[in-house]
Amino acid sequence: DADVTQTPRNRITKTGKRIMLECSQTKGHDRMYWYRQDPGLGLQLIYYSFDVKDINKGEISDGYSVSRQAQAKFSLSLESAIPNQTALYFCATSDYQGGPQYFGPGTRLLVL
């Protein structure tokens, strides 16, 4: 079984809709991250969380919000989706500060 899972894997939505992307991990890591990847580009950090009570904005947090429901669960919400949020979204975890990150399979989001 995968250590980091993301649901859904693919999602098509319309402009203005609220959607939630979910991430679960069985690695027991405290640190979790949400990134977006646009075609041909690297990853940009949206939000990160070092434990259940600690949530921080990344480089591109505008238009996004997150919820850390438990150590194992970290959700990303788009309050009112817009077309330029069309991208591949990844969740990741890490065991210690600056350590290797373990990525989920990604959610491909299309906003029409």
Q: In terms of CB distance, is 3 or 77 closer to other proteins? A: 3
Burial category of 49 from C-beta neighbours within 10 Å (exposed 0-12, middle 13-18, buried 19 and up): buried
Integer Cα distance of 5 and 107 in angstroms? 10
- Residue choice 45, 52, 60, 72 for contact with other proteins (CB under 8 A): 45
In one-letter notation, the amino acid at residue 107 is T
Kindly state whether residue 41 participates in binding other proteins, applying the rule CB under 8 A. yes
- Work out whether 97 is an interface residue with other proteins (CB under 8 A): yes
Strands (E) in 52-95, as ranges, are 54-57, 64-70, 73-78, 87-94
Site string for other proteins, 15-34 (x = CB under 8 A): ----------------x---
- 90: contact with other proteins by CB under 8 A: yes
For other proteins, the closer CB: 37 or 75: 37
Among 77, 82, 64, 86, smallest CA distance to 16 is for: 82
List residues binding other proteins (CB under 8 A): 4, 31, 35, 40-45, 48, 50, 56, 58, 88, 90, 92, 94, 96-106, 108
